[in-house]
């Protein structure tokens, strides 16, 4: 039987509703934190259980399942992009949630080592958004008796999550490049959202790059940034220095086609043949 997991909103004082904007912001940030946890835990799960890494990543692709009428419990269904046996996906999901609970428990003790600063910040933002509507937030699992039991109480962990993020952010400023797709632009202050393979990143930019960002909106790009590189390798406080279109196989083919035969007539003339004749053996 598949074990069920969810993101659970618990409004204070018995209320039955959560403000729409708070709900959306909390859900988005919680999913970002979940993606960060997946990136942190997947390699160890694959090694520990002997699962192929590709299968682990695929099994931990989460989707939102149907909710019950009047419920503020959001089902998190693992294996949204599953290409392998369902049984394997269930086993991987159970192992993931067990390790996630352990890692978040370590956060409360200041001993977490795998959760990134970006992941901790995302979960803290999710808690803060839920509390804007006077609601508590947690990851939960359904027991055999049909009741939901907390795997990790995100709201009570919020202060510890912020401390963990701050400790992981101790780093140095450096220039780095990040590739992804520009999906939205803001003009005051100027910036954009960059979707990478692992997450969504907010990037500030100088006004001089506005036109360039608008020109490349929706396309794959490489962004040269100035940011803070933390001890865990995460990069924060991103400021764009330059934006350029990412190289693609199609662009490489086009370049090859355009330059093919460019030296014809220069190196295949009779005069060149005479010059090179003595060097032949």
- Count the helix, strand and coil residues of the chain and give each as a percent rounded to the nearest 5: 45, 25, 30
Q: Which of 167, 171, 133 is nearest to 24 (CA)?
A: 133
CATH 2.40.50.140 residue spans of the chain: 171-248
> Using one digit for the tens of pLDDT, what is the confidence trace for 225-277?
998 776 666 777 789 999 999 875 455 455 555 655 555 555 556 666 666 66
What gap in Å lies between CA 221 and CA 226, rounded to an integer?
16
CATH homologous superfamily, domain 171-248: Nucleic acid-binding proteins (2.40.50.140)
Question: How far is it, in rounded angstroms, from Cα 9 to Cα 17?
Answer: 9
* Residue-level pLDDT at 263: 57
pLDDT in the model for residue 139: 95
pLDDT in tens, 92-115: 999 999 999 999 999 999 888 888
**pLDDT given at position 82:** 45
Measured between alpha carbons, how far is 210 from 180 in angstroms, rounded to an integer? 17
Q: Which residues of the chain have pLDDT under 70?
A: 1-2, 80-88, 170-171, 230-233, 248-281
Closest CA to 76 of 134, 152, 146, 3: 3
Instruction: Check if the beta carbon of residue 137 is closer than 8 Å to that of residue 8.
Output: yes
Nearest to 107 by CA among 143, 139, 74: 139
Handedness of CA 139, 143, 148, 152 (dihedral sign): negative
């Amino acid at each position: 039987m598949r074990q069920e997991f969810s993101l659970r909103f618990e409004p204070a004082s018995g209320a039955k509703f959560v403000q729409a904007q708070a709900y959306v912001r909390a859900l988005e940030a919680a999913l970002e934190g979940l993606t960060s946890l997946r990136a942190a835990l997947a390699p160890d799960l694959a090694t520990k259980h002997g699962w192929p890494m590709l299968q682990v990543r695929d099994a931990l692709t989460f989707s939102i399942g149907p909710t019950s009428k009047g419920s503020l419990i959001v089902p998190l269904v693992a294996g949204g992009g599953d290409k392998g046996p369902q049984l394997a996906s269930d086993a991987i999901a159970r192992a993931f949630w067990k390790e996630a609970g352990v890692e978040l428990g370590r956060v409360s003790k200041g001993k977490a080592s795998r959760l990134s600063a970006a992941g901790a910040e995302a979960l803290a933002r999710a808690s803060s958004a839920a509390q804007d509507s006077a609601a508590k937030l947690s990851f939960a699992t359904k027991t055999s008796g049909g009741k939901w039991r907390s795997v990790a109480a995100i709201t009570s962990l919020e202060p510890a999550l912020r401390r963990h993020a701050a400790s992981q952010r101790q780093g140095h400023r450096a220039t780095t490049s990040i590739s992804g797709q520009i999906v939205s632009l803001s003009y005051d202050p100027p910036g954009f959202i960059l979707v990478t393979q692992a997450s969504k990143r907010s990037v500030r930019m100088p006004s001089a790059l506005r036109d360039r960002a608008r020109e490349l909106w929706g396309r794959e790009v490489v962004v040269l940034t100035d940011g803070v590189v933390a001890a865990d390798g995460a990069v924060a406080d991103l400021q764009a220095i330059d934006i350029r279109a990412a190289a693609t196989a199609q662009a490489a083919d086009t370049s090859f086609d355009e330059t093919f035969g460019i030296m014809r007539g220069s190196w295949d003339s009779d005069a060149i043949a005479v010059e090179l004749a003595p060097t032949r053996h």
